[in-house]
Every structure is written in structure tokens, then in C-alpha cells.
Chains A and B, each alone.
Chain A
């Protein structure tokens, strides 16, 4: 190796060093730019979680349920439906493609001619067919019995809509523009009544129950024998819809 060669090697290694330093600083900058927002959001998330100390955790000792007393429900009242739509950011339905988490129905007993009105929604079954059929496990039941959809893993196959015998699951057919932060929704996913889980976790009752002017709806813990709902269910011998299917719904009816 002659002298000129060794000079050139030194020059090349100088160039290499400066190039490596440049690449390292670019990599550091890119890393910071890509990670910083995530780290910031995580810290914000922790702060929010810390601020939500009042939020209840789902517990298997609780079985949230509803009692619907059809003898108290008025046919001309749809306060529960309107409250649901307002609370959960659902536009009022215009067509059969629009979602309905709750609906009012009026039925007639063909033998007696007696008519009854009441709201119907997701029955939050103990053995929910929508959960059984969901291929990804996006349809799930919380420990406290509330049946929900994980919006991140729902692929929009609609098998849960096919499986629900209560016509309580819906598919979001159109773009959604009226979401609320506490009720995430999106086009292409299945959804249904959440029993206002965001309110329940804060110790409040579902919006439909709070809005009912006649006290036809009662919310509470079916597992607690001293709760108002458990006592009333016992007293009225309130029964679920389609008890033949043995799905053990958390929504019980009286007068139907």
C-alpha cells in the first residue's frame, strides 16, 4: 500500500464517520417524531384513567339487568327511544338500513284482544348467540353480563345480526358523523344496546331508564337479592322473551 492509498482510506473513513453521524441523528429524530405522540397519548391516558377513579370495574358478582313493566308503559310514549338516540349519538332512523338500539312495539294477544306496549332492545343474554357466532370474538360479554361489540376487532361479517333472535343487533350501513366520545361507533361494524355501559360504569342508570316518565323500566343487579330489580322480578314473576331458547336474558318483562 503506498502513501496516497492510505490518505484516501483516511479520507473515506472520515466521510464514513460523518455519514454515520448524520444517519444516527436522522434516525434519532425520526424515532422521536414517531414515538413522541404515542408516549404523550399514553401519559394522557394514564392521567385520564387516574382521574376516573370513580369508574366501577366490571365484576362477575354483578349481573346487570332491566325489568320492563309493560303494564306501566304507554303506547304513545317514546321517551326511552329518544333518550337512547340522544345519549348514544344515534340519528333517528329514516330507513330499514339505519340502526335501532331500542324500539317500541305494541302487541295484541289474539285470544283476549288485550294490547301491550313496551320497548325492546338487546337482552344481554347470559348465553348470547351473537357472542357464540362471532368469528373474531369481537362480540363479547363482560363479567357483569353486559354484551358489547369490540369496534377494533369487528370485521363486519353480520353473523351476529343473523344469530340474534331478538332483532337487537344492527349493522352500520352508512358513514357515521354523530359519534360521541364515550360511545365509539363506525360504519361497517355491528352494534346494539350497550345498556349505556359508559353511564353504568359511573354508577348511573341507562338513559332509557332515566327518561321513562312512568317508571316502566327498572335497572339493577339481578344477582343481588336485596336490589329493587331482583325483588320486583320475584314479586311480579317477570319473565324473559323467548324463554324457550334458554338464553337467560338479563332483560325481564312483566305484562307480556
Chain B
């Protein structure tokens, strides 16, 4: 097959573009309203409690941040592994990563109890905290990604493009490890506390990021009314299969590790069998929709390749959100064990009880606002800079 010539272009203005931005503005306004409501009345108006302190906003924020790392897959393949055919897609890959990271961080900051103290977080550091390290890892990735874009576009930057690509690649692996270790370094929670979570989050990021990249590219093509690019379709399909399978493998190994240690095994039973909404979300959302369905679609060559890849990407994204919901909120709903070996007869703080959680409107509003921010940043960026790959001629 002759190689397809691809040029980069600005997103072309159309009525659709403005309509989409207007729709996104509604979600952004909803996010802002949710933030101000939580800021005014406190987190008491959310579904969170002193049993579950990280709720739906954290699910959205961590999904976006982990996916931001994986969105760089295509750029990394182009720069680190020197596959020139991926190069036209590298700018979109980097910009998508920036958009996801900025949006994830925005949700995290707006969900803080004291969001006005962002300057405190940027000036006071406790380096035994992985959170403090993450402040540098997140801002560092943003800076490196912007530098990498400069090396791609500027003739002065070209000589540094390879070095920038490698730096971004290594940085994002460390960043995703750092995000996984937010949970890996928790000693008291039976569902977390494992170094396995660092590679698990890296594997998850590869799948989620690639899925979001494919959806973003297809979305831009559809809205700009471009002829869809199909040159790398089969390779990206195989890559998505590998990433989905790898992430499922790491999740299974993490759960098996927990199940093997008696002190953690009850949590695995809870998540897989007795956790109510969390068990349902894990099996139906993560395992079935997030893994089995995309693997079935992607491996079945009789399916229309482009449609099956996009449907699979959507399923991987939904499955990712489901995984984090079950993992983050389910992990907190499962009771802490300050008194191992005893049955709790009575407690003034619901010891031994599975905590209840229903996502509230402000939490959902903030989460959706974050996703809307990511799409807005992508759209505005694609209008201002030539990110959109299109068939040349």
C-alpha cells in the first residue's frame, strides 16, 4: 500500500464548532456552579462523608490525569521509537495530554476543602508525601509537553525534538507511577497499599490514553468534515488490544496479590462478590464493558474496522471510569480494620460497616465540567495551532 501523505491543519471554523463550544459552555457553567456551591456550603452537600472522602470528582480527576499520560502514546511512538508514520499525529497526542492533565488538575483543585490555598500547595512541600512529588510531576509534564510541542513546530526546536520526546516519555512513566502510588502508599486500606499499583496505573494509562486519542482524532475529523485517516488503523487496533489486555492483566495480578494475603483477602471478596454497587460496577462496567466488549470487537476481524475501533475506545473509556469508581470509592466504602480479629458490636462511627455512597449533583457537575474543559481545550487548541492531521491531496 502506498504511504498516505498527511498534512497538519488548523481546525476549520464552522457553525458546528460554535454550537459545540456553546454546549461545552453549559457544562463548564455547571462545573463552576458546582464548585461555588461546594465552596459555600461545604462538602456536606455532596455524597462524600468521613467514610468516603474522595468521591466522584476524584474518579474523574484521576481518570483524566492517568489518561493524560497515555494520550502521549502516539507521540512517544513517533519520537522515542522513531516510527515516522506516527509523527503527523504527535502534536495532537501532546495537546490532548495537556488538555486532559489541565482538566484533571482543575477538578482536583476545585474539589479541595480550601481551593483558595493553592498557593500554599505550591510553596509548602513535605517530600515524604507522594502528593507533594506529584505537584512537581504534573507541572513538570505540562512544561515538558509545551517544550516538546515547540520542538515539533519551531525550526529552532527541531534538533531537540528527540531529546524532548524521550524526556516526556520517561517523565510520564514516573508521573503515572506517582499517581498509582497515591494509593500504593496507603498502609491502612486493604484495597490499596501495594507497589503493584504503580505498573498497574501505567498499563491502565496506556489503554485509556490511546482510546481517548482515537476518539479525539475521530471526533475532530467528523466535526471538521475530513476524510478519516486509515493509514495506521490496523496497527492502532492491535496496539489497543495489547494495552487493554495488559491493563487487565495488571489489575488481575493486583487483586490476586491482595487475595493471597489473608489480611487483604476480605477486600477482594467484597469487591468481586459482596460489594453491592461496587461489585456491579466492577464486573459490568470494568470487566464486561471496559475489557471483554472491546477485546471481542477488536479481535473479530469481520467487524467494520473503524467503527469497531471507535466503539471499543468508547467502551475502554467507560470501563476506565467504572474501574476507578469501584477502586477509589469501593476501596473507601470497605471498612477500615482498626480492630482486626474482633466483631464490632457497636460503634459511634460505623466501624465495621460498609459505607454508603451516592454521587451528588455538585460532584457530577464538577466531574462533567472537567471533561467539558478537556474538550474545550482540545477544540480551542486545534483552532489556534495546526494539530489536526488530514489527508494531503
Contact = CB atoms under 8 A, between A and B. Distances in A.
Contacts of A159: 129, 131, 182
Contact of A105 (B115, B121, B347): B347
A75 B346 contact: yes
B218 interface: no
A108 B126 contact: no
A245 interface: yes
B264 to A, nearest CB: 12
Contacts of B182: 159
A103 B339 CA distance: 13
A129 B188 contact: yes
Given A155-B117, A173-B42, A100 B349 contact: yes
A96 B51 contact: yes
Most buried by B among A78, A100, A133, A134: A133
B384 to A, nearest CB: 33
B338 A107 contact: no
A211 interface: no
Given A107-B343, A172-B42, A167 B351 contact: yes
B23 interface: no
A170 B50 contact: yes
Nearest to A129: B187
Contacts of B187: 129, 163, 165, 245, 247
B125 interface: yes
Contacts of B121: 135-136, 155, 157
B342 A108 contact: yes
A162 B192 CA distance: 11
Nearest to B128: A132
B344 interface: yes
Contacts, number: 187
A148 interface: no
Given A241-B338, A256-B339, A105 B346 contact: yes
Categorize the interface residue count of chain B. 35 or more
B120 A155 contact: yes
Interface in A107-151: 107-110, 115, 117, 120, 129, 131-138
Contacts of A137: 124-126
Query: Interface size bucket, A side?
Result: 35 or more
B109 to A, nearest CB: 9
B276 interface: no
Contacts of A163: 185-188
B130 interface: yes
Interface in A206-256: 241-242, 245, 247, 256
B53 A162 contact: yes
Contacts of B131: 133-135, 157, 159
B179 to A, nearest CB: 13
A95 B129 contact: no
A154 B121 CA distance: 9
B332 A97 contact: no
Contacts of A134: 126, 129, 131
A204 to B, nearest CB: 25
B51 to A, nearest CB: 6
Interface in A51-95: 75, 78, 81, 93, 95
B112 interface: yes
B13 interface: no
A153 interface: yes
A107 B132 CA distance: 38
A106 B347 contact: yes
A99 B50 contact: yes
B44 interface: yes
Contacts of B134: 135
A197 interface: no
Contact of B355 (A96, A105, A245): A96
Nearest to A253: B339
Contacts of B338: 120, 165-167, 241-242
Closest 4 A/B residue pairs (Cβ)? A156-B113, A165-B188, A188-B113, A103-B348
20 contacts: A93-B348, A97-B50, A98-B50, A99-B50, A103-B348, A109-B343, A131-B128, A133-B129, A133-B131, A134-B129, A135-B132, A136-B120, A136-B125, A137-B125, A137-B126, A153-B124, A155-B114, A162-B54, A163-B185, A167-B338
Given A105-B344, A167-B351, 10 more contacts: A100-B348, A108-B345, A135-B129, A136-B125, A137-B124, A154-B114, A163-B185, A173-B48, A174-B44, A187-B42
Interface of B: 41-44, 46, 48-51, 53-54, 112-115, 117-118, 120-121, 124-126, 128-132, 134-135, 182, 185-189, 332, 336-351, 355-356
Interface of A: 75, 78, 81, 93, 95-100, 103-110, 115, 117, 120, 129, 131-138, 152-159, 161-167, 170-175, 187-190, 241-242, 245, 247, 256
